[in-house]
Amino acid sequence: MNPGLVRLLVTGLLSVLVSCAIGLIWVRSHPAPRMVRVDVGSLYEEQKKTLSARLKPGMTEEEQKAIFKAATDYGKRVDEALSLVALECQCAILNSAALVRLPDSGDTGIADASDRVRQILGQN
Residue 53 is predicted with a pLDDT of 87
Structure confidence by residue, pLDDT tens digits, 58-67: 888 898 888 8
Please check whether residue 34 is in contact with residue 90, taking contact to mean a CB–CB distance below 8 angstroms: yes
Residue 112 has phi, psi (to 5 degrees) of -95, 120
Stretches where the chain sits below pLDDT 70 are 106, 123-124
Please give the pLDDT value at position 124: 56
Full-model pTM: 0.69
Contacts made by residues 97-105, CB under 8 angstroms, sequence distance 24+: 97/39, 97/40, 97/41, 99/37
